[in-house]
Structure 1
Amino acid sequence: MTVTYDLQNKIGVITINNPPVNALSQPVREGLKGTIEKAQHDDSELLIIICTGRTFIAGADISEFGKMPMEPSLPDVVNLIEASAKPVIAAIHGTALGGGFEVALACHYRIAVPSAKIGLPEVKLGLLPGAGGTQRAPRLAGVKNALDLMTSGHPMKAARAQSIELLDSLVEGNLLTGAIEFANTLLADNPEVRRVGDITIDPAQIEPGLFDAYRARLAKRARGQIAPQKIVACVAAAVNQPINKGLELERKLFVECLLSPESQGLRHLFFAERKAVKINGLPKETRAKAIQSVGIIGGGTMGGGIAMNFANAGIPVTLLEIDEQALQRGKDIIASNYGITVNKGKLSGAEAEKRLGMIRGTTSYDHLAEVDLVIEAVFEDLAIKQTVFKQLDAVCKPGAILASNTSYQDIDAIATVTRRPQDVIGLHFFSPANVMKLLEVVRGDKTSDEVLATAMDIAKQINKVPVLSRVCYGFIGNRMLRPYAREAQ
Structure 2
Amino acid sequence: MNSADTTTTTTAFARHGRVAVISWSNPPVNGISFALRQQVSAGLDAAVADADIDAIVMMGDGRMFSGGADIREFNTPKSTSEPTTPQLIWRIEHLSKPVIAAIHGSALGGGLEMALGCHWRVALSDANVALPEVKLGLLPGGGGTQRLPRLIGVEKALDWIVSGKTIKAPAALAAGVLDAVFDNDLLGNAVAFASKLLPATALRATGSIAVSVPANAAELFEQARANARKTARGMDAPLQCIACVEESTKSSLEDGLKFERARFLELVNGTQSKAIRHLFFAEREAAKPPHDAQDAPLRTVQRVGVIGAGTMGGGISMAFANAGYPVTLVEVTDANLQKGLATIRRNYEATVSKGKLDAKEMQARVDRIHGATDLRELADVDLVIEAAFEDMDVKHDLFRQFDAICKPGAILATNTSRLDINAIAAVTKRPQEVVGLHFFSPANVMKLLEIVRADATAPDVLATVLHVAKRIGKIAAVVGVCDGFVGNRMVSPYTREAHFLLEEGATPQQVDQALERFGLAMGPLRMGDMAGLDISWAARKRLAPTRPQHIRYCKIADRLCESGRLGQKTSEGFYRYEAGSRAPVPDPKVEEIIKACAAESGITRRAITDEEVVERTMYALVNEAARILEDGIAQRGSDIDVIYVNGYGFPAGRGGPLFYADTVGLPKVLERIRAFHQAHGELWTPAPLLEKLVTEGKPISSYEVPTAKA
**Under a length normalisation based on structure 1, what TM-score does the superposition of the two structures give?**
0.96
Alignment of 1:433-444 (within 5 A): 433-444=443-454
User: Which residue among 258, 266, 271 is the counterpart of 1:256?
Assistant: 266
- Secondary structure in structure 2 of the residue aligned to 1:76: helix
Task: Tell whether 2:143 aligns with 1:132.
Answer: yes
Task: Indicate the residue corresponding to 2:391 in structure 1.
Answer: 381
User: Which residue among 59, 63, 72 is the counterpart of 2:68?
Assistant: 59
How big is the shift at 1:290? 3.0
Structure that is richer in helix per residue: 2
Give distance in 1, aligned partners of 2:131 and 2:332: 49
User: Which residue among 183, 186, 189 is the counterpart of 2:194?
Assistant: 183
Give distance in 1, aligned partners of 2:259 and 2:446: 37
Alignment of 1:44-123 (within 5 A): 44-68=53-77, 69-123=80-134
Deviation readout 1:349-386 (Å, 9 max, x if unpaired): 33323222221111111221111111110011111111
Alignment of 1:336-355 (within 5 A): 336-355=346-365
How big is the shift at 1:342? 2.6
How big is the shift at 1:207? 5.5
Return closer, same or farther for 1:25/1:170 CA change in 2, 3 Å cut-off.
same
Task: Tell whether 2:38 aligns with 1:30.
Answer: yes
How big is the shift at 1:2? 1.7
Give distance in 1, aligned partners of 2:104 and 2:376: 47
Partner amino acid, structure 2, of 1:140: L
CA contact (8 A) 2:34 2:81 kept: yes
Task: Indicate the residue corresponding to 2:369 in structure 1.
Answer: 359
Deviation readout 1:311-347 (Å, 9 max, x if unpaired): 1112111111001110011112212222332333322
Deviation readout 1:98-127 (Å, 9 max, x if unpaired): 111111111111111122111111001110
Return closer, same or farther for 1:144/1:288 CA change in 2, 3 Å cut-off.
farther
Task: Indicate the residue corresponding to 1:13 in structure 2.
Answer: 21
Q: Choose 1 or 2 for highest CA Rg.
A: 2
CA contact (8 A) 1:312 1:355 kept: yes
How big is the shift at 1:215? 1.1
CA contact (8 A) 2:154 2:213 kept: no
Alignment of 1:234-383 (within 5 A): 234-282=244-292, 284-383=294-393
Alignment of 1:395-434 (within 5 A): 395-434=405-444
Partner amino acid, structure 2, of 1:447: T
Task: Indicate the residue corresponding to 1:460 in structure 2.
Answer: 470
How big is the shift at 1:254? 0.8
Task: Tell whether 2:431 aligns with 1:449.
Answer: no
Give distance in 2, aligned partners of 1:289 and 1:59: 35
Partner amino acid, structure 1, of 2:190: A
Partner amino acid, structure 1, of 2:466: M
Deviation readout 1:220-274 (Å, 9 max, x if unpaired): 1111011111111111111222111111111111111112222121111111111
How big is the shift at 1:205? 5.3
CA contact (8 A) 2:153 2:212 kept: no
CA contact (8 A) 2:23 2:61 kept: yes
CA contact (8 A) 1:118 1:155 kept: yes
Q: What residue ranges of structure 2 are gaps of 5+ in the alignment?
A: 1-8, 502-710
Partner amino acid, structure 2, of 1:62: I
Task: Indicate the residue corresponding to 1:472 in structure 2.
Answer: 482
CA-based RMSD: 1.6
How big is the shift at 1:287? 2.7
CA contact (8 A) 1:87 1:191 kept: no
Partner amino acid, structure 2, of 1:484: Y
CA contact (8 A) 2:306 2:385 kept: yes
How big is the shift at 1:304? 0.6
Partner amino acid, structure 1, of 2:58: I
CA contact (8 A) 1:172 1:178 kept: no
How big is the shift at 1:140? 1.1
Deviation readout 1:444-481 (Å, 9 max, x if unpaired): 22212211111111111111100001111211111111
How big is the shift at 1:399? 1.4
Deviation readout 1:68-98 (Å, 9 max, x if unpaired): 2322211111111111111111111111111
CA contact (8 A) 1:22 1:51 kept: yes
Partner amino acid, structure 2, of 1:3: T
Structure that is richer in strand per residue: 1
- Secondary structure in structure 2 of the residue aligned to 1:354: helix
Deviation readout 1:140-171 (Å, 9 max, x if unpaired): 12222211111111221112111111111111
Return closer, same or farther for 1:89/1:205 CA change in 2, 3 Å cut-off.
farther
Give distance in 2, aligned partners of 1:264 and 1:232: 20
Give distance in 1, aligned partners of 2:14 and 2:283: 39
Give distance in 1, aligned partners of 2:374 and 2:195: 66
Give distance in 1, aligned partners of 2:182 and 2:330: 48
User: Which residue among 183, 206, 221 is the counterpart of 1:196?
Assistant: 206
Partner amino acid, structure 1, of 2:477: V
Query: Structure 1 segments of 4 or more deviating over 3 A?
Result: 204-208, 282-285
- Which segment drifts farther, 83-92 or 207-216? 207-216
**Under a length normalisation based on structure 2, what TM-score does the superposition of the two structures give?**
0.67
Partner amino acid, structure 1, of 2:160: L
